[in-house]
């Protein structure tokens, strides 16, 4: 033992992250990331443009998300590292600057998203008791950061409980709508195919969490096999839930009413089970938002930890230090929490969060391009998972992921023009 142990850091034998996560835990973590809080709000806006064809929009979005998800799965199998996107891009293009730009974008997205969802938590809480939004959001970020510091095992146990609550809330909606499925004409869209595509663009953002699953690779047992499986399973599980929720919601409440509601699932629950059911869904939305904040802070801090390693020297190496007792990157946890808190003070957080989503699409373009390049230049250096649909050295799914991500980014930019 060295004298530095009192500070939580052992210099002679630097502590490492604790590998406590198996396939089940990582899948649940991924489902929690993807479900997030988006489905509780975005479903209404999407219904307003897709009409009864809303379930088809979810399927289209799932297919598009799967293209890039498969690229992440193969890259995570090649490089099972917590720095994720950074190491993929750096190995593919040999550019430290490009890799750093991607890492900065991911940290920005994580911080802004966590702040936005923390404010959403305050909004849901205000439905039960009048509270000031910003102090509540900051309090949640501080509490989630404390849990993040305490240990990945504790974070995952909370994530398991919160994700179970999220799934239960969606199951309630599905239950209320189960008798109406036969009345839903999923081929009818009031605005035709363009409406279905626009809705798919909106609900695509309800899938974005899959890219952060890779950031817990160094806390996962047999990460080379577990992380790719978890990405595929998490996208699959959430897609099934989303489609059934979409059919049920459209069956219980007219699509126009859903489109006009800022809390569509609460509206469905009230129509199906009265005020008590609506209150239950609102309470579950609280757990959903709290869970999303926690796992965003976890994944973002692991990215900072990874990129700060001395072998890269892209971020200050101090952030790669691991607490000897808790086995967590405590300084990276503090940095991410500290960066997230000021974002809650922004006036137009919705627009900033939208910019973060645009930045994430740029990351997806680069990540898909990284796999395409690695397939050509290092075809034999594959891990335990290879994305399907390969023609020679070409990954068809990675090419589709690049094209669709670029297309979505173009649509996104055009919305500001």
153 close to 20: Cβ distance less than 8 angstroms: yes
What is the per-residue pLDDT for 12?
A: 37
**Cα Rg of the chain, angstroms:** 21
Which residue blocks in 94-132 are alpha helix, DSSP H?
96-125
The sign of the torsion formed by the CA atoms of 416, 264, 353, 304 equals: negative
For 44, the token pair is 């209404």
- CA 297/CA 305 separation, integer angstroms: 12
pLDDT, one tens digit per residue, over 258-281 is: 988 877 888 999 999 999 998 998
Mean pLDDT of 402-412: 88
Say how far apart CA 80 and CA 123 lie, in whole Å: 38
CA dist 138 → 121, 343, 353, 364 (Å): 11, 10, 17, 30
What's the rounded mean pLDDT across residues 393-406?
94
Give pLDDT tens digits for 88-101: 999 999 999 999 99
Give the chain's domains with CATH numbers. Answer: 21-414 (1.20.1740.10)
β-pair partners for 390? 395
pLDDT digits (tens, 9 = 90+) for 344-390: 988 666 677 777 878 888 999 999 999 999 999 987 777 678 998 88
Q: Per the structure block, which two tokens stand in for 379?
A: 């075809």
Q: What is the DSSP letter of 348?
A: -
The pLDDT value recorded for residue 1 is 36
Q: Is the pLDDT of residue 2 over 50?
A: no
Handedness of CA 190, 414, 345, 209 (dihedral sign): positive
What are the structure tokens assigned to 225, written together?
């096999």
Local confidence band at 9 (pLDDT 50, 70, 90 cut-offs): very low
Say how far apart CA 394 and CA 339 lie, in whole Å: 40
The pLDDT-based confidence of 6 (bands split at 50, 70, 90) is very low
Of the pLDDT bands very low, low, confident and very high (cuts 50, 70, 90), residue 128 is: confident
**pLDDT score of 345:** 87
- pLDDT in the model for residue 4: 38
Rounded to a whole number of angstroms, the distance between the first and last alpha carbons of the chain is 61
* pLDDT for residue 197 is more than 80: yes
In the predicted model, what is the mean pLDDT of residues 139-163? 90
13 pLDDT above the threshold of 80: no
Stated pTM of the model: 0.87
Query: CA-to-CA distance for 125 and 117, rounded, in angstroms?
Result: 12
Note the pLDDT of residue 16. Answer: 74
Model confidence band, residue 37 (pLDDT cutoffs 50, 70, 90): low
Residues 249, 237: Cα–Cα separation, whole Å:
18
Distance, CA of 359 to CA of 342 (rounded, Å):
20
Q: Which of 366, 385, 388 is nearest to 74 (CA)?
A: 385
| Local confidence band at 7 (pLDDT 50, 70, 90 cut-offs) | very low
Average pLDDT over residues 78-106: 93
């Amino acid at each position: 033992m060295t004298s530095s142990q009192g500070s939580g850091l052992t210099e002679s034998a630097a502590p490492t992250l604790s590998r406590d996560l198996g396939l089940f835990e990582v899948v649940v973590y991924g489902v929690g990331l993807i479900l997030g809080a988006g489905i509780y709000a975005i479903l209404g806006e999407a219904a307003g443009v897709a009409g009864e064809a809303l379930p088809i929009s979810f399927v289209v979005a799932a297919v598009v998300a799967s293209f890039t998800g498969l690229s992440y799965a193969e890259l995570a199998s090649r490089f099972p590292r917590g720095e994720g996107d950074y190491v993929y891009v750096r190995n593919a293009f040999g550019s430290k600057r490009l890799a750093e730009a991607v890492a900065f974008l991911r940290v920005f997205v994580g911080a802004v998203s966590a702040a936005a969802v923390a404010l959403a938590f305050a909004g849901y809480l205000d439905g039960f008791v009048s509270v000031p939004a910003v102090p509540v959001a900051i309090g949640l970020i501080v509490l989630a950061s404390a849990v993040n510091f305490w240990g990945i095992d504790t974070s995952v146990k909370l994530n398991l409980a919160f994700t179970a609550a999220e799934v239960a809330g969606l199951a309630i909606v599905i239950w209320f709508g189960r008798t109406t499925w036969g009345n839903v004409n999923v081929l009818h869209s009031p605005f035709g195919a363009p409406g279905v595509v626009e809705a798919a663009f909106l609900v695509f953002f309800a899938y974005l969490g899959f890219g952060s699953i890779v950031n817990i690779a160094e806390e996962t047992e047999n990460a080379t096999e577990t992380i790719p499986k978890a990405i595929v399973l998490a996208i699959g599980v959430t897609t099934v839930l989303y489609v059934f929720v979409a059919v049920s919601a459209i069956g219980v409440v007219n699509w126009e009413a859903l489109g006009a509601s800022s809390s569509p699932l609460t509206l469905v629950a009230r129509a199906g089970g009265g005020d008590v059911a609506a209150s239950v869904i609102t309470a579950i939305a609280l757990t959903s938002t709290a869970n999303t904040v926690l796992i965003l802070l976890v994944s973002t801090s692991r990215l900072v930890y990874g990129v700060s390693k001395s072998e890269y020297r892209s971020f200050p190496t101090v952030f790669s230090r691991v607490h000897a007792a808790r086995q967590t990157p405590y300084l990276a946890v503090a940095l991410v929490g500290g960066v997230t808190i000021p974002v809650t003070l922004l006036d137009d957080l919705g627009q900033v969060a939208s910019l973060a989503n645009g930045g994430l699409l740029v990351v997806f373009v680069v990540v898909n391009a990284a796999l395409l390049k690695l397939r050509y230049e290092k075809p034999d250096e594959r891990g335990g998972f290879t994305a399907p649909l390969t023609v020679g050295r070409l990954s068809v799914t990675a090419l589709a992921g690049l094209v669709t991500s670029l297309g979505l980014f173009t649509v996104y930019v055009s919305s500001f023009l």
